[in-house]
Amino acid sequence: MKRTRILDLPTCKEGSEVQISGWVDGVRALGKIAFLSIRDGTGTVQAVAKPTTSGWDLVEELSLETAISLRGILKKDERALGGVEIKATQLSIIAPSAPDYPIQPKEHSTGFLMSQRHLWIRRPLQASLLRIRSTVILAAQNHLDSLGYVRVDAPILTPTSCEGTTTLFKLDYFEKTAYLTQSGQLYNEATAHALDRVYCFGPTFRAEKSKTRKHLTEFWMLEPEAVGLGLEENISLQESLFCALIDGVLDAHEEELERRFKRDLRALKICQRPFPRMTFAEASSRLSSLGFPLDEEGDFGAQHEEELAKDVGRPFFVHHFPAAAKAFYMAPDPLDPSLSLSLDLIAPDGGGEITGGGVRIQDPNLLARRMDEEGLNRDDFSWYTDLRKYGGVQTGGFGMGIERMVRWLTGTHHVRETIPFPRTIDRLSP
RNA sequence: UCCGCGGUAGCUCAGCGGUAGAGCGGGUGGCUGUUAACCACUAGGUCGUGGGUUCAAAUCCCGCCCGCGGAGCCA
């Protein structure tokens, strides 16, 4: 008999015979009747076994996570969670599970659960998060594809840094030194000159000693880059992508977001284009009037970001950051060279900076000067400056942290739950 | 890297100078409608680690290690 996935049970007729297989999620044995909660990766269902069930003797061997196969009659029953249950006619064990399964149906600390991440992901909420992550990635690729963007991935092993050298993971590469990529941005400029509109998507590494719920040392970044993408076009692309991701997740997971994640769906549905936008200068005067002036350095702290986001109440752009605060390749504003043609997309409800991007410097002399100012060795970037030498045109783009996006969409507390196996400053396993 | 909090049973925690505790989980038995089932019994600990104070340290003091939360930095 063919196995039915629990997800598909609602399409089966009541009273029909079904066969499922999955893992024991809970057992409540009452003597001559036993209630089994069975999870198969697509859903959870209750089965009822009685002494007439073939394999009844096995009930006493069912520890948590025992893999079983079960055949029975599908019945509607108000007393079962989900409204349906299976009256088991036949039960068999596929693979036993040791009785010391560490994750109990009770509160655990996040630290403990993270140490059991390989098992924790079996829990429905965690599995759901990974499913939503998959939807977000697919929606992003579909959207970019519909706009003519070609996926061209950047290397992960790189010879030089893209931004600061202090946050690089260094490794031996035969006789040389290599670094794990911090961004595919520089390579994107090369591929944009070959294919017009491109994006890369892959793991990104930052050896930042950050301990916050928005940071991972290994995260996945989606980076579109296109010829002629000025600030205005950049904003427009980000808006459409952001909305496409919201739509994609609502299409596939609306009920789940509400029931399982208790996400306020209005916060997602109010994200209509155009998004509010403000210059860095406007943001800082707005912060002053809110009672949170920037410090002397003029830097935007976590509190500033949060107060501003609270005030705006929905995702918004901050653009024209001071040039000094941005990477060497960010183009200055021709009207005021102390400002850069850069922008960040900030989400409310603690979502924080979801994207960061801008327009790249095209002028080779200016680029050389900026590299000198940042103390970068020009020779290391010869291929990059070559792009300017041979018909270099202006490109622009941005990077979106996929985990941050998933975190915001689902209202998850910490990014570490939005990636299968998180890497943080103090966690390298499992 | 800095600041704050913590480390006691497999897990979540109480105990805070005088014989090591609870709930959950595990084991055994009971129970025909459970929903983190319930009831009874039971096993399980060099109190993170090294030193110090004391008649006596899980408890007080110092160093170190590990975890959690936050900051800076960023996506």
**Tens digits of residue pLDDT in A235-284:** 999 999 999 999 999 999 999 999 999 999 999 999 999 999 999 999 98
**Which residue's CA shows the smallest distance to C1' of B66?**
A426
Residue A296 has pLDDT above 90, yes or no: no
Residue (of A222, A217, A226) closest to A202 by Cα position: A222
pLDDT computed for residue A315 by the predictor: 95
Taking residues A13-26, report their average pLDDT: 95
Inter-CA distances, A259 with A37, A75, A158, A254, Å: 19, 24, 44, 9
Please report the ipTM that was assigned to this predicted complex.
0.89
Nucleotides of B under 7 A from a protein CB: 1-2, 10-13, 23-27, 30-37, 66-75
* Between residues A266 and A211, the one the model is more confident about: A266
Residue (of A63, A47, A39) closest to A121 by Cα position: A39
The region, left, alpha or beta by phi > 0 then psi within -120 to 50, assigned to residue A375 is left
Half-sphere exposure of A422 (CA within 13 A, CB side): 29
Q: Where are the beta strands (DSSP E) in A138-212?
A: 150-151, 157-158, 170-173, 176-180, 197-205
CA of residue A215 to C1' of nucleotide B1, angstroms? 16
Residue A129 has pLDDT above 80, yes or no: yes
CA of residue A103 to C1' of nucleotide B56, angstroms? 40
Tell me the per-residue pLDDT of A378-407, one tens digit each, with 9 for 90 and over. 888 899 999 999 999 999 999 999 999 999
pLDDT band at A32 (very low <50, low <70, confident <90, very high): very high
Residue A356 has pLDDT above 70, yes or no: yes
Mention the CATH class of domain A117-418: alpha beta
Tell me the per-residue pLDDT of A131-190, one tens digit each, with 9 for 90 and over. 999 999 999 999 999 999 999 999 999 987 655 556 788 888 998 888 999 999 999 999
CA of residue A26 to C1' of nucleotide B49, angstroms? 39
Residue (of A219, A222, A202, A149) closest to A420 by Cα position: A219
Tell me the per-residue pLDDT of A40-65, one tens digit each, with 9 for 90 and over. 999 999 999 999 999 999 999 999 99
d(CA A363, CA A231): 17
Q: Specify the 3-state DSSP secondary structure of A8.
A: helix
Homologous superfamily, domain A6-95: Nucleic acid-binding proteins (2.40.50.140)
**Which residue's CA shows the smallest distance to C1' of B11?**
A108
Locus of tokens 């098992």:
A119
User: How much of chain A exceeds pLDDT 90, in percent?
Assistant: 73
Locus of tokens 């995702």:
A315
pLDDT band at A89 (very low <50, low <70, confident <90, very high): very high
pLDDT band at A105 (very low <50, low <70, confident <90, very high): confident
Taking residues A338-353, report their average pLDDT: 92
Which residues belong to CATH 3.30.930.10 in chain A?
117-418
Largest CA distance in chain A: 85
CA of residue A60 to C1' of nucleotide B28, angstroms? 13
Which residues belong to CATH 2.40.50.140 in chain A?
6-95
Residue A209 has pLDDT above 90, yes or no: no
Locus of tokens 């509160």:
A107
pLDDT computed for residue A366 by the predictor: 93
CA of residue A412 to C1' of nucleotide B38, angstroms? 35
Taking residues A297-324, report their average pLDDT: 88
